Structure 1
Amino acid sequence: MSRVDESVREVNFDGLVGPTHNYAGLAAGNLASKRHQGLTANPKEGALQGLAKMKSLMEAGYAQGVLPPQQRPDIGALRELGFGGSDRDVLAHAADQAPELLRAVCSASSMWTANAATVTPSVDAPDRRAHFTPANLQSSFHRFLEPETTGRVLKAIFRNERHFAHHPALPATPAFSDEGAANHTRLGGEHGEPGVHLFVYGRRAFGSVAGDGREPTRYPARQTLEASQAVARQHGLTDAQTVFAQQHPDAIDAGVFHNDVIAVGNGPVLLYHEMAFLDEESTLEALRARMETPLIPVRVPVEAMSLDDAVGSYLFNSQLLSNPDGSMTLVVPGECQANETVWRVIQDLILAGHNPIGEVIVKDVKQSMQNGGGPACLRLRVALSSAEREAIKARVLLTPALHEDLTAWVERHYRDLLAPEDLADPQLASESLTALDELTGLLEIGSVYPFQLG
C-alpha cells in the first residue's frame, strides 16, 4: 500500500514580471518572441497581469506563491565581457558597441519560472525532503545569467534543511543543457501520493539518439537526455519512478522549444498534442507500466489542431489544476479563445471528453504571451505538505495583503512603456535596484541579489 500524505497541496509559484520587461527577441525557436522583437513593452501592465492571474487563482482556492525577478540590467555580466568605467559608461558602451549584449543582460525572462528549476516533492524522494535543482539554461546567454541568483532565491525561501534539499545547477555545457520544469511533468494520483516523473528531451549528447535517430534541423533542441538523467540522479529517483521520452523533432522545428508548449500533465491526466513525442506509443506504455493510478491521456490529433495553432495559441502551455471534488480546471491564455479552431477543440474534445477536465478559465497574459510565455511558463509547481508549507518563513505564499502590497510596489516602481532604446538609460538601472531592494523586504527573503551581497 502506497503512503499518502493528505496534507500535500501543489503550490504554483509564479514569477513576478521584472521592471526591465522588454521585447528583445532573444530566444531561437520561440516564434512569439521573434515576432514581437523591437516592440515597445509595458512592464507595469505585464506585472499587474501576472498578479491578477495569481490573485484570481488564490481566490478560487488554489495555493499560490510568488518568486522575485532577477537583477537587471546585469551590469556585472557586461563588465566580465570587457566593458569598463562607471555603470553609466558600461551601459553606453554596450549600447554603442554590442546592443545585442545589452538586450540580453536586460532580459526579464526569469518571469517564466517553469524554467527556474526541477522539483521533486518529498513523497517521491528517498530522504523524504523536497529537492530542487536550478536549471543551467546554458542554451541561451540571456538565461544562462539566471541560475546563480535563482539558487539563492530558492535557498532563501526553502531554507529549512530538515524539509528541503538543494543541488547545484548542472555543468553549463551543451552536453548537460537543462531547461528545468518546462521539460518535466509529474504524473500520478493525488499530489500526496508517489508519482512518476516524465522527463522530455530533444537530443542526446553522447552516443546515438533514441527512436529513429532524428533531431530537429531548424531550431536547437534545448534539453539533453543526459541532463534529465543527471537531475533524476541528484534527486534520488529510480528507474521505476522515471520515464525519459524524446520530444518530436518536427514539433521543435515548428516552434515547440519546450515540452510545456505541446503537453501538460496533472495527477493522472496528460493533455498532449499528437506530435508531442517522437514515440508516442512507447511513452504512454512506459507511463502506464509505472503509474499506480491509471493514466488518463487526453490526445489532440493533428486533424483537430495543427502544430501552428498549438504554438500560436499556447493551449498546451496552460495550467491544469486539481479541485477537491476530483475534477480539474484548465487555465488558458486569451489567445485560445480568440482562435476558433483551438476554442472548438477545448469545447468539443477536452471539455466534452471522458476526462476530469470540467472547467476552462481564460486569462489575459498578453505581455507575457507576446514574448513567448503562457500561463504554464509563469509558474513553478511545488507540491508541499502542511509541515513543509509551515517551514517556509519567507513571505511568498500569496494572501490578499501580500497581493495588495505587491500591486502597490509595481505601481510605485514600474514604467508604463519601455522601448529598446530605453535599456541604455542608467536611470532604469537605478529604478530597478531600488525596486528589488524594497521587494526583498516585502517578501522577507533577505539579500539574494548581487548588488545586495557586495
Structure 2
Amino acid sequence: MKSFEVNFDGLVGPTHNYAGLSEGNVASLSNAQDISSPKNAALQGLQKMKALHDMGMVQGVLAPQERPDIFSLRRLGFSGDDASVLAQAAKTSPAVLSACCSASSMWTANAATVSPSADSADGKVHFTPANLTNKFHRSLEPETTGNILKAVFNDDNVFAHHLHLNDNDHFGDEGAANHTRLCSEYDDAGVQIFTFGRYAFNRSMPMPVKFPARQTLEASQAIARLHQLDDSRVVYVQQNPAVIDQGVFHNDVIAVGNQNVLFYHEQAFLKTDEFLTELRQKFSGDDLHCIKVSTDDVSVLDAVNTYLFNTQIITLADGSMAIIAPMHCYQNERVKAYLDNLVTQNTPIKQVKYFDVNESMKNGGGPACLRLRVALKENELAAVNPNCVMNDELYTTLVGWVEKHYRDRLNFDDLRDPQLLVESRNALDELTQILNLGSVYRFQR
C-alpha cells in the first residue's frame, strides 16, 4: 500500500503581528513592534503550499485560531461587550492584549505530535496537541488546535486524538518542533526521536541558563505512552543547553529529518555520539544518512539567522530529496555555499528550492515551522477531510478569501480595534465553510 508524508501548513491568521512575545526566539525579539502585513504573510504561506502541491507533494491546510482571544481576556477579568473588553485590555494591560492577539498558530510544527499507524500498537494515526505551556500566548492554542485536528482527521476508526498534556511546565510540550521520525519508507515502522531541553523532576541535570528549555523529557515520554510506541523504536536525546542559550529555542532550528536522512548541526545535541549509536541500533536497514554540519562550515549564529535547519526536507517522485529553504539561506554566502556543495555529495538530498516566507521569518519561524508532517497510508489519506487537501481550486479560493478579509498593514494600535475582531470572525466563519470544519471556534458555539 502506497504511503505519503503530507505536510499540513497553517494558514496565517488575520491578526499576524510582530509583538516579540517569544523569549529565546531571536528573530521574534529583534522585530518586535514592526508593522506587519497579514495579507502578505498569508499569501506567502499559500504560495509555498501551492508550490509543493505543484511539485507532486500531497499538501494540506490547517485553519488558524480566533484572535483576538476574547474568551481569554474575559477569563482574566476584562468585562462588558467585546469593544469594552478590548479597550480595557489596551489601556491597562497592553502586553496581555498583545498576547491574546498572537497569530502564532501559523507555526503548525508546534500544533501537535503525530505518530503514524506503522508505529502504534493499535494501528491508528495518533495526535496529541502541544500544550505550549512555556509561553502564555501559545498556551491559549491547544483546545482549538484539538478541535481543528479532529475536524480534519475525523474518522475514529483510523485516527486517535488525545487531550493535550497537563497544563504545567513539568510537562511542557512543544509538539513536532522537538520530534522527528526516521524510516526507510513512510509505511515502514520507524524510529521516533524525541528531543528535550531539560528534566522536569531533576534540576541537577544540565539545562540552559539564559533562555528557557521548553520541552521536558517527561512530556516526551508521556506522548510516547499515549501513542502506544514500542520502546525499542524510540530515542530520547537532550538538546545542547549551550545552543538553546544562543537562540535555538526548538530542536527544529538546529536539526531536521526525513525518511532515512538526519540533517543536524554538530552542536545540536548534548551527547551526540551516544545518541547516534542508539539511533543506528534502532533504525531498520543500513541506509541511514546522518549529515553533520560543522561549526567551521556554518556557525550556530548563521544557522539561527538563516534557519538552515528550519527547512523542509521532502522526498520527490523519483525518490531523491529536496530542501525547501527560506531566501535567507540563499542570501547568506556561507550557508548558500554549504547547500551548493551538499547537493553534490553522496546523500539523497539533490536539490534546494528557495521560498520567500519573510513575514514568517521576521516573526521567528521558517518553512519547517509552517508545517505539521503526517505520514499516511492510502486508506488513511482517503479518510482525511478532502476540503483540507490542497488543489488548484482550493488555492484559488483561499487566495480570494485572504484578499477579501485580510488587512495590508497592522500595528499594535490596530489590535484594540473592535472592527478587527469582527473582520477576523467573519473571515474564520467563512473559512470553516470552505474547509468544511464545522464549528471549531468558541464564537461559533
**Matching of residue 244 in structure 1 with residue 231 in structure 2:** no
**Matching of residue 309 in structure 1 with residue 296 in structure 2:** no
The alpha-carbon deviation at position 394 of structure 1 amounts to: 4.5
CA contact (8 A) 1:18 1:108 kept: yes
The alpha-carbon deviation at position 86 of structure 1 amounts to: 1.1
SS at match of 1:311: helix
Describe the superposition over 1:143-197 as per-residue Cα deviations: whole angstroms up to 9, x where unpaired.
0000000001111111111100011100010110000000000001011111000
Describe the superposition over 1:100-158 as per-residue Cα deviations: whole angstroms up to 9, x where unpaired.
00000000000000000000001111111100000000000000000000001111111
**Pick aligned residue for 2:94 from 82, 99, 110:** 99
Q: How does 1:148-227 map to 2 (within 5 A)?
A: 148-207=143-202, 213-227=205-219
Q: What one-letter code is carried by the residue in structure 1 that aligns with 2:214? A: R
CA distance in 1, matches of 2:285, 2:114: 21
**Matching of residue 11 in structure 1 with residue 6 in structure 2:** yes
CA distance in 1, matches of 2:299, 2:313: 21
CA contact (8 A) 2:312 2:368 kept: yes
CA distance in 2, matches of 1:326, 1:46: 31
**Matching of residue 343 in structure 1 with residue 336 in structure 2:** yes
Deviates more, 1:439-448 or 1:393-402: 393-402
Counterpart of 1:358? 350
**Matching of residue 72 in structure 1 with residue 67 in structure 2:** yes
**Matching of residue 420 in structure 1 with residue 409 in structure 2:** no
SS at match of 1:316: coil
SS at match of 1:395: helix
CA contact (8 A) 1:117 1:133 kept: yes
SS at match of 2:390: coil
Counterpart of 2:429? 437
Counterpart of 1:62? 57
Q: What one-letter code is carried by the residue in structure 2 that aligns with 1:367? A: E
SS at match of 1:33: helix
The alpha-carbon deviation at position 208 of structure 1 amounts to: 5.6
CA contact (8 A) 1:394 1:445 kept: no
Counterpart of 1:279? 271
Counterpart of 2:119? 124
CA distance in 2, matches of 1:82, 1:324: 54
CA contact (8 A) 2:195 2:238 kept: yes
CA distance in 1, matches of 2:285, 2:402: 43
Moved over 2 A (4+): none
Q: What one-letter code is carried by the residue in structure 2 that aligns with 1:409? A: W
**Matching of residue 53 in structure 1 with residue 48 in structure 2:** yes
Counterpart of 2:319? 326
Q: What one-letter code is carried by the residue in structure 2 that aligns with 1:16? A: L
The alpha-carbon deviation at position 390 of structure 1 amounts to: 1.1
Counterpart of 1:36? 31
CA contact (8 A) 2:191 2:283 kept: yes
Q: What one-letter code is carried by the residue in structure 2 that aligns with 1:137? A: L
CA distance in 1, matches of 2:251, 2:354: 21
SS at match of 1:360: strand
Q: What one-letter code is carried by the residue in structure 1 that aligns with 2:74? A: R
CA distance in 2, matches of 1:386, 1:246: 35
**Pick aligned residue for 2:395 from 403, 421, 439:** 403
CA contact (8 A) 2:120 2:230 kept: no
TM-score, normalised to structure 1, is: 0.97
CA distance in 2, matches of 1:40, 1:323: 37
CA distance in 2, matches of 1:434, 1:319: 32
- Pairwise CA RMSD: 0.8
CA distance in 1, matches of 2:213, 2:349: 31
The alpha-carbon deviation at position 289 of structure 1 amounts to: 0.4
CA distance in 2, matches of 1:445, 1:421: 32
CA distance in 2, matches of 1:63, 1:392: 12
CA contact (8 A) 2:208 2:241 kept: yes
**Pick aligned residue for 1:21 from 16, 22, 31:** 16
CA contact (8 A) 1:183 1:199 kept: yes
Deviates more, 1:288-297 or 1:72-81: 288-297
CA contact (8 A) 1:156 1:394 kept: no
Q: What one-letter code is carried by the residue in structure 1 that aligns with 2:395? A: H
CA distance in 2, matches of 1:95, 1:405: 34
Structure 1: 5+ residue runs without aligned partners? 1-5
Identity %: 54
CA distance in 2, matches of 1:208, 1:93: 40
Q: How many residues align?
A: 444
Structure 2: 5+ residue runs without aligned partners? none
Counterpart of 1:145? 140
SS at match of 2:353: strand
Q: What one-letter code is carried by the residue in structure 2 that aligns with 1:174? A: D
The alpha-carbon deviation at position 207 of structure 1 amounts to: 2.7
Describe the superposition over 1:363-409 as per-residue Cα deviations: whole angstroms up to 9, x where unpaired.
00000000000000000000111111111235100010000000000
CA contact (8 A) 2:56 2:317 kept: no
The alpha-carbon deviation at position 324 of structure 1 amounts to: 2.8
CA distance in 2, matches of 1:74, 1:330: 36
Counterpart of 1:256? 248
CA distance in 1, matches of 2:194, 2:285: 19
**Pick aligned residue for 1:267 from 259, 279, 285:** 259
TM-score, normalised to structure 2, is: 0.99
Q: What one-letter code is carried by the residue in structure 2 that aligns with 1:449? A: Y
CA contact (8 A) 2:119 2:230 kept: no
The alpha-carbon deviation at position 325 of structure 1 amounts to: 2.3
CA distance in 1, matches of 2:168, 2:386: 33
